[in-house]
Amino acid sequence: MNWIQLLSPKRFGDKSEAVVANDSRSRFEQDYDRLIFSHPFRKLQDKTQVFPLPEDDFVHTRLTHSLEVSSVGRSLGKAVGEHLLKKYPQLAEAGYTFHDFGGIVAAASLAHDLGNPPFGHSGETAISSFFTDNPKGQEFQKLVDQKEWSDLISFEGNAQGFRILNDDDNGGLRLTFAALGAFTKYPKSSHAPRDKNRKSQKKYGYYRSNLEQFSELAQTMGLKQLGDESWARHPLTFLVEAADDICYNIIDLEDGCRLGLVPYEQTRDLMAAIIGENYDEQKLERSDDVNQKLGLLRALAISQLIQQCVTLFLEQDEAILTGEFDGALTEHIPAGEALNKIASLSIEKIYRSKQVLEREAGGFEVIGKLMESFCMASYTKYYDEDAHTPRMKSVFRLLPQAIQSKLRKQKTVYELLLVNTDFISSLTDSYAIKLYKTIYGFSLPTSKV
């Protein structure tokens, strides 16, 4: 792989290979702005990151998490870019600057959670479980091919994000190839054989419906093909992944401490292990405000992790370009062991806390029922009219006009099911609960006099 191809500013739909530069904003900065103002991004403000929103303190949503990941990603990208420009003079000759590296990683990082459904991982599992565990969902296996079924039974937020970013009916964000490449954490299809030695093949990154697009993307940027429907990662993806790993490890721990799930002293010691020689207990103890202390610890820990990830990336630059290096940067840096301890503690004290488990259990029920209601209402309308009962007609009418329009255009059962998955995975937590209550009669609308 080579950097000139990898930094492609091309977008799907460009009429020629030549890309017109914009003097005021680079195409990569345009990517960032398109995402910030997009409807799918705005919905992240009401999607749970880890905790349901408590009344007594502020914790992170998917939106604030995405903004923070993007900030860290920009820092990683600019630092790496500054060194790569010296190592590869042809980049500067082609007009690229370290700001371009930062812009690409910032945009991809901003979009990294765009495909996540309501209620986090329990929402993902609930969507998949409709097809694997619900008798009504299992019937659809007879109506799609094997590769399509592979998509349906393992809902993947990363693949859903790629679909959103390239769906003209969803706003047509049309990001640059470089940003889309950096965004794609798992550059393989759900049906492609998995190499367990590669972190990039742990999951999949695009649906069968996007195979043609991703193939064009990979070919244009010269991604190394590893097998049928699988490629090596875009190098900047490692920085996007590192930004996410840094933020959710450090900031989930911070949130857990603020909510009283993890003692301050334990949180302090875990972050101090990352900060290392820059840890100054006397400076920390000048304030009596725990929130200020946590803020200082967080800033120092993130700064240290950024430096270590940049150093490792530059050391592994050539192995990354050949596709030989395929692991998470945060697992191979000096602070990797300290991060592992934070991850283990977070699983025990935070992710399995009562409030998180209650939210996940409730979310699983809500999403599972919505999948059943809308998939069956849509299927019977277009493929089994005799079974399209009055109740199903009412449910179908609850779908937004844009979704109904997409359903009218669908040509296969697979496409119909993906459109329903588009709708349900795009819901905010609050609206998913509202729809569930409406359909199942727990809350009926009342007229205001």
* Contact between 409 and 382 (Cβ < 8 Å): no
- How is the chain split among helix, strand and coil, in percent rounded to 5? 65, 0, 30
Q: Please spell the DSSP secondary structure of 206-219, one letter per residue.
A: --GGGHHHHHHHHH
* Contact between 30 and 8 (Cβ < 8 Å): no
Q: What angle do CA 31, 34, 109 make, to 5 degrees?
A: 55
* Contact between 348 and 284 (Cβ < 8 Å): no
In the predicted structure, residue 414 carries a pLDDT above the cut 50 = yes
* Contact between 135 and 142 (Cβ < 8 Å): no
Structure tokens at 162: 């790629």
pLDDT for res 182: 98
pLDDT for res 358: 77
pLDDT for res 58: 62
pLDDT for res 49: 63
In the predicted structure, residue 14 carries a pLDDT above the cut 90 = no
User: Residue type for 347, please?
Assistant: I
pLDDT tens sequence across 175-234: 999 999 999 999 999 999 999 999 999 999 999 999 999 999 999 999 999 999 999 999
In the predicted structure, residue 443 carries a pLDDT above the cut 70 = no
Query: Closest Cα to residue 291, out of 57, 15, 19?
Result: 57
Query: Closest Cα to residue 273, out of 253, 291, 287?
Result: 253
pLDDT for res 449: 39
Q: How confident is the model at residue 3 (pLDDT cuts 50, 70, 90)?
A: very high
Q: How confident is the model at residue 157 (pLDDT cuts 50, 70, 90)?
A: very high
Q: How confident is the model at residue 51 (pLDDT cuts 50, 70, 90)?
A: low
In the predicted structure, residue 170 carries a pLDDT above the cut 80 = no
CA distances from 328 to 233, 245, 430 (A): 12, 9, 34
pLDDT for res 289: 86
Q: How confident is the model at residue 447 (pLDDT cuts 50, 70, 90)?
A: very low
User: Residue type for 53, please?
Assistant: L
* Contact between 151 and 194 (Cβ < 8 Å): no
pLDDT for res 356: 72
Cα 183 from Cα 152, distance rounded (Å): 21
Cα 253 from Cα 290, distance rounded (Å): 14
Give all domains of the chain, ordered by start, each with its CATH number: 24-231 (1.10.3210.10), 238-354 (1.10.3410.10), 355-439 (no CATH)
pLDDT for res 95: 93
Residue of higher predicted confidence among 210 and 449: 210
Indicate the average pLDDT of the chain: 90
Share of the chain above pLDDT 70, in %: 93
pLDDT for res 20: 46
Q: Please spell the DSSP secondary structure of 61-121, one letter per residue.
A: BHHHHHHHHHHHHHHHHHHHHHHHHHH-HHHHHTT--HHHHHHHHHHHHHHTTTT--TTHH
Q: How confident is the model at residue 442 (pLDDT cuts 50, 70, 90)?
A: confident
User: Residue type for 106, please?
Assistant: A
pLDDT tens sequence across 250-304: 998 998 888 888 999 999 999 999 999 888 888 888 888 888 989 999 999 999 9
